[in-house]
A and B are shown apart, each in its own frame.
Chain A
């Protein structure tokens, strides 16, 4: 018994359009994958564990929004109610419509507009416990669920602080119109179903039926016409939303699903941009959490360059240099992103597009054989401006009897990462080759560096067959192997996680374990993956000295809140940046360890 009414047409056209659009996008993306990635995709789709993992993530993140719940429960609930609520409305609605329709295939609009077609009364006592009544209850409950989220979304516009967000995205006009359509859908559905239920005195659940009675009572005019007006509006809102979706932020809904599958199949962002980056750009829901996580925003008041604007610019094919270059590449936004978009990679891809054209000439680099050693110590460019670090390192290595070579004692060839942060990967590769030759010639088994920036590039770009350690990891190993003994100085120390070592290198525990042996380590407000950047970033090309100072000051306030005796860092750039403004002593872990060697303890007394 197929029912039809003219008003279902806007929805139907919209639905056909969006389905076509999604299929064509998916096809375009999958087709444009490089061959290697296509193989990965096909293999992944044949692996049950990968499919299961994708489905699990889709459920936990796209529907439940677990990451957002962790950030702020109100925010999580709000997004979940829309996503999960709408999803369940569709699924349960389809099941419900099967009771009435009977056949396996019905017209897509039928479940959506079911209450227009079906509005029988359930009055007999036992009917209240019947299956249709049960479905009506569930559907009304789900509608209420979605509407509660809508109310929260509305409140968020006015009082975003309650949701843990001080700043939210500045949407463009198109997104604002799409948003309005989306927000109208469910209130209009409520009105339509209620008026119909009220007029026919049946067909509604606990919400729609009772509301319907009330509305019919208090509204003058023919209820059936009002209901019809609302059904038309509901259909138009849906249709318009669907047509706008591929061009608006809401394209994230289908894009995110494919992105999750790609990720579980092992597909990664590529250095020079690829389908994956394009898919990521479409998966951004423009929720604005990245803006809130960004220190340039909350410490320095710069709020036009955050990830959401970078990605929007990428999608709209309009990206300014200013947006690409103004970013500390600290990784806080990437950490906060509920979709897990690799924002730093996107930023660097943009920088490569802008900046790779420079001609460099490193033919002046000459190679002398460095000598042989077990351990190569590469202090890094910045460490020469904080000499106490490399002096401490040499002292520690001598004390432990290590056969080491100080590779850049007389100044270094830069490790290459600063060039890469400016998008000049091709140019950096020459420096990298030079350094690799040098390191290989030493025949060392271990490369130790004092600078997290160097550490990150050694691990990710150098492809050397030797162990690479940051000095905190190296020293901890020395202690555990009994090669040096340390005496705790029992001073209160707060540890600052350097961006490239912590979020960028995954090293959180070694520095802390080491510090616990030589001092009383106390916590700070934002630690590990949530740590604040010092502001000295080499990735930040375009900010003034005053703006950087604001970031530093803000980070110091947070770090020093528990009043430590010493602020410990593991990065020479962080040390220099903090020393400029900190009243509390700032010292590198290596220095603190060096001062905890018993012979030195006696000397310093």
Chain B
């Protein structure tokens, strides 16, 4: 009998692990709640540090998924465990049933949770004016604009002469209940600064940061390039609040901590680098399975060094951003590690094996 694996979550890590496991001969079903797979990466234009297109990465991953059974547009309503087998019950629309919903059980020998993350709701940081002022957008919305290919304009229809990029929105912030760092937004801010400068070489781009977390290879060089080649200005100061001018431009208020004086300036466009928050769907899945989360709300693995893809429950594995903020390249590596762990687990279960 073939061992079956269910992967919950069709983003980068879910698809990578599913593809790899299918190639190794396992019977893999991938469950995705949205209408299409790809997760958040499907929304990005170009990735740091080398600026390759996100679609290239997704195409590469999808190529390895020919043997995976993909089911989209469903939610997981129940997971039960019976000795060494699991049953995942999904709820989705019946094929031509209109609005009728049906519950379908899927048996599995093990489950990989690759449910990913959500982006911080920038409206919660009301003082930055997202949802109130038209020229305040999030970094994800900026990526949408880059992908669309059309030039980026302010709400008045003009190219922005000065753009502000705000780091740490919704992360490292006790006031919204997220004390942790979302890791990848700093390098995203630097990347987007460069991309904006490429689009509008005559514009001024200012990054407002508390720290610059250039944690991986080539990141620090990207920062160097932003300053040296593109003239991006970095102001060390966290925005306290924004206001709007009658013409729609945004006045930002910060302290230029490196000179020790308060600073205000008008920008035509303000980009908020929103961080990671735990996916809401994981709360019910954690409850069903008895998984633990950390104080930051992300799911805990059995050990962060040595068993980072396993949980306390045999047969339940984790990969990707469900455990916390992570970059795409790390996600892919993590998913492959999870796939190997799952293969080892399933092979040790085969009859005749000690």
A-side residues, CB < 8 A to B, are 384-388, 391, 545, 576, 579-581
User: Is A387 within 8 A of B124, CB to CB?
Assistant: no
A-B contact pairs, 26 of them (CB 8 A): A384-B127, A384-B241, A385-B126, A385-B127, A385-B240, A385-B241, A386-B126, A386-B127, A387-B126, A387-B127, A387-B129, A387-B132, A387-B241, A387-B242, A387-B243, A388-B126, A388-B132, A391-B132, A545-B174, A576-B175, A579-B124, A579-B126, A580-B124, A580-B175, A580-B176, A580-B177
Give the distance in Å from the alpha carbon of A580 to the alpha carbon of B121 in the complex: 12
Closest to A575 in B: B126
B-side residues, CB < 8 A to A, are 124, 126-127, 129, 132, 174-177, 240-244
List, in ascending order, chain A residues with CB within 8 A of B127's CB.
Answer: 384-387
Give the distance in Å from the alpha carbon of A385 to the alpha carbon of B176 in the complex: 14
Known: A386-B126, A576-B126. 5 other contacts (CB 8 A): A385-B240, A385-B241, A391-B132, A580-B176, A580-B177
- Known contacts: A387-B132, A387-B241, A391-B132. The answer to whether A581 contacts B126 by CB under 8 A is no
Secondary structure of the A side of the interface? helix
List, in ascending order, chain A residues with CB within 8 A of B132's CB.
Answer: 387-388, 391
Give the distance in Å from the alpha carbon of A545 to the alpha carbon of B179 in the complex: 12
List, in ascending order, chain A residues with CB within 8 A of B126's CB.
Answer: 385-388, 576, 579
- Known contacts: A385-B241, A387-B241, A391-B132. The answer to whether A581 contacts B124 by CB under 8 A is no
Give the distance in Å from the alpha carbon of A384 to the alpha carbon of B132 in the complex: 13
Closest to A579 in B: B124
List, in ascending order, chain B residues with CB within 8 A of A576's CB.
Answer: 126, 175
Shortest C-beta distance, B98 to chain A (Å), equals 26
List, in ascending order, chain A residues with CB within 8 A of B241's CB.
Answer: 384-385, 387
Give the distance in Å from the alpha carbon of A576 to the alpha carbon of B126 in the complex: 9
List, in ascending order, chain A residues with CB within 8 A of B244's CB.
Answer: 387
Give the distance in Å from the alpha carbon of A388 to the alpha carbon of B123 in the complex: 11
Give the distance in Å from the alpha carbon of A385 to the alpha carbon of B125 in the complex: 9
Give the distance in Å from the alpha carbon of A425 to the alpha carbon of B177 in the complex: 34
Interface centre among A385, A387, A576, A581 (most CB of B within 10 A): A387
List, in ascending order, chain B residues with CB within 8 A of A391's CB.
Answer: 132
Give the distance in Å from the alpha carbon of A580 to the alpha carbon of B174 in the complex: 9
Give the distance in Å from the alpha carbon of A580 to the alpha carbon of B243 in the complex: 21
List, in ascending order, chain B residues with CB within 8 A of A388's CB.
Answer: 126, 132
Give the distance in Å from the alpha carbon of A387 to the alpha carbon of B240 in the complex: 12
Give the distance in Å from the alpha carbon of A387 to the alpha carbon of B241 in the complex: 9
List, in ascending order, chain A residues with CB within 8 A of B243's CB.
Answer: 384, 387
List, in ascending order, chain A residues with CB within 8 A of B175's CB.
Answer: 576, 580
Give the distance in Å from the alpha carbon of A576 to the alpha carbon of B124 in the complex: 9
Give the distance in Å from the alpha carbon of A580 to the alpha carbon of B177 in the complex: 7
Shortest C-beta distance, A198 to chain B (Å), equals 69
Give the distance in Å from the alpha carbon of A580 to the alpha carbon of B175 in the complex: 6
Give the distance in Å from the alpha carbon of A81 to the alpha carbon of B154 in the complex: 75
Give the distance in Å from the alpha carbon of A581 to the alpha carbon of B174 in the complex: 11
Give the distance in Å from the alpha carbon of A579 to the alpha carbon of B125 in the complex: 9
Shortest C-beta distance, B350 to chain A (Å), equals 46
List, in ascending order, chain B residues with CB within 8 A of A580's CB.
Answer: 124, 175-177
Shortest C-beta distance, B97 to chain A (Å), equals 30
List, in ascending order, chain B residues with CB within 8 A of A385's CB.
Answer: 126-127, 240-241
Top 5 A-B residue pairs of the complex, sorted by shortest distance between their CB atoms: A385-B127, A388-B132, A386-B126, A385-B241, A580-B177
Give the distance in Å from the alpha carbon of A551 to the alpha carbon of B109 in the complex: 45
Give the distance in Å from the alpha carbon of A386 to the alpha carbon of B174 in the complex: 17
Give the distance in Å from the alpha carbon of A277 to the alpha carbon of B62 in the complex: 78
Give the distance in Å from the alpha carbon of A433 to the alpha carbon of B349 in the complex: 81
Interface centre among B126, B132, B174, B177 (most CB of A within 10 A): B126
Interface centre among A385, A545, A581 (most CB of B within 10 A): A385
Shortest C-beta distance, B33 to chain A (Å), equals 20
List, in ascending order, chain B residues with CB within 8 A of A581's CB.
Answer: 177
Give the distance in Å from the alpha carbon of A384 to the alpha carbon of B127 in the complex: 7
List, in ascending order, chain A residues with CB within 8 A of B176's CB.
Answer: 580
Shortest C-beta distance, A490 to chain B (Å), equals 22
Shortest C-beta distance, B111 to chain A (Å), equals 27
List, in ascending order, chain B residues with CB within 8 A of A579's CB.
Answer: 124, 126
Closest to A581 in B: B177
Give the distance in Å from the alpha carbon of A311 to the alpha carbon of B140 in the complex: 56
List, in ascending order, chain B residues with CB within 8 A of A545's CB.
Answer: 174
Shortest C-beta distance, A228 to chain B (Å), equals 70
Shortest C-beta distance, B112 to chain A (Å), equals 29
List, in ascending order, chain B residues with CB within 8 A of A386's CB.
Answer: 126-127
Give the distance in Å from the alpha carbon of A105 to the alpha carbon of B244 in the complex: 84
Shortest C-beta distance, B77 to chain A (Å), equals 20
Give the distance in Å from the alpha carbon of A287 to the alpha carbon of B127 in the complex: 44
List, in ascending order, chain A residues with CB within 8 A of B177's CB.
Answer: 580-581
Closest to B174 in A: A545
Give the distance in Å from the alpha carbon of A581 to the alpha carbon of B126 in the complex: 14
Closest to B125 in A: A579
Give the distance in Å from the alpha carbon of A527 to the alpha carbon of B124 in the complex: 26
Shortest C-beta distance, A164 to chain B (Å), equals 33
Give the distance in Å from the alpha carbon of A385 to the alpha carbon of B175 in the complex: 12
Closest to B173 in A: A580
Give the distance in Å from the alpha carbon of A600 to the alpha carbon of B241 in the complex: 25
Shortest C-beta distance, A345 to chain B (Å), equals 32
Give the distance in Å from the alpha carbon of A545 to the alpha carbon of B127 in the complex: 20
Give the distance in Å from the alpha carbon of A117 to the alpha carbon of B174 in the complex: 75
Give the distance in Å from the alpha carbon of A356 to the alpha carbon of B129 in the complex: 38
Give the distance in Å from the alpha carbon of A388 to the alpha carbon of B128 in the complex: 11
Give the distance in Å from the alpha carbon of A387 to the alpha carbon of B133 in the complex: 10
Closest to B128 in A: A387
Give the distance in Å from the alpha carbon of A391 to the alpha carbon of B244 in the complex: 10
Shortest C-beta distance, A562 to chain B (Å), equals 23
Closest to B175 in A: A580
List, in ascending order, chain A residues with CB within 8 A of B240's CB.
Answer: 385
List, in ascending order, chain A residues with CB within 8 A of B174's CB.
Answer: 545
List, in ascending order, chain B residues with CB within 8 A of A387's CB.
Answer: 126-127, 129, 132, 241-244
Give the distance in Å from the alpha carbon of A367 to the alpha carbon of B9 in the complex: 61
Closest to B131 in A: A388
List, in ascending order, chain A residues with CB within 8 A of B242's CB.
Answer: 387
Closest to A572 in B: B126
Shortest C-beta distance, B103 to chain A (Å), equals 26
Closest to B132 in A: A388
Shortest C-beta distance, B245 to chain A (Å), equals 12
Give the distance in Å from the alpha carbon of A576 to the alpha carbon of B240 in the complex: 14
Closest to A583 in B: B280
Shortest C-beta distance, B128 to chain A (Å), equals 9
